[in-house]
Amino acid sequence: MTIEEIFLSSNDGNSYEVRLYYNKEPLLRKGLGHHAHPAFEVSIPGNCSGIYTVSEKQIPFQPGDLFFFRSNEPHHISHLEADEEPVCAGIHFYPNLLWTSASPESVGILQRFFSMNNRSFSNRYKANEPCCRQIMEYVKDIQEEFAEKKTEYGLRIKTDILNILISIMRNDPVEMEESTSYTRDQILNVSQVMSYIDAHFEEEITIRQLADSINMSVSYLSHLFGKVAGFSIWDYLVSKRIYEAQKLLLNTNENVISIAVKCGFNNSAYFNKRFRELTGMTPKEYRKK
Is 150 a residue whose pLDDT tops 60? yes
Domains of the chain: 2-171 (2.60.120.10), 184-288 (1.10.10.60)
Q: State the pLDDT at residue 82.
A: 79
pTM over 0.85: yes
**Cβ-contact 90, 55 below 8 angstroms:** no
How many Cα atoms within 13 Å fall on the side-chain side of residue 166? 9
Given strand 124-125, what is the order of strands in its sheet? 2-9, 15-23, 88-93, 40-44, 66-69, 124-125
pLDDT in tens, 163-172: 999 998 888 8
Residues shown for the chain: 289
pLDDT in tens, 82-129: 777 777 899 999 998 888 655 545 556 788 889 888 888 999 999 998
pLDDT in tens, 181-224: 778 888 889 989 998 999 999 999 999 999 999 999 999 999 99
Residue with the bigger pLDDT between 149 and 105: it is 149
Angle between helices 153-171 and 130-148 (to 10 degrees): 170
26: pLDDT confidence band, cut at 50, 70 and 90?
Answer: low
Q: Provide the CA 274 distance to its chain's centre, in angstroms.
A: 16
DSSP of 26-80? HHHHH-PPPB--SSEEEEE--S-EEEEEETTEEEEE-TT-EEEE-TT--EEEEEE
**Left if phi > 0, otherwise alpha if psi is -120 to 50, otherwise beta: which for 108?**
left
Percent of the chain at pLDDT above 70? 90
Q: State the pLDDT at residue 178.
A: 66
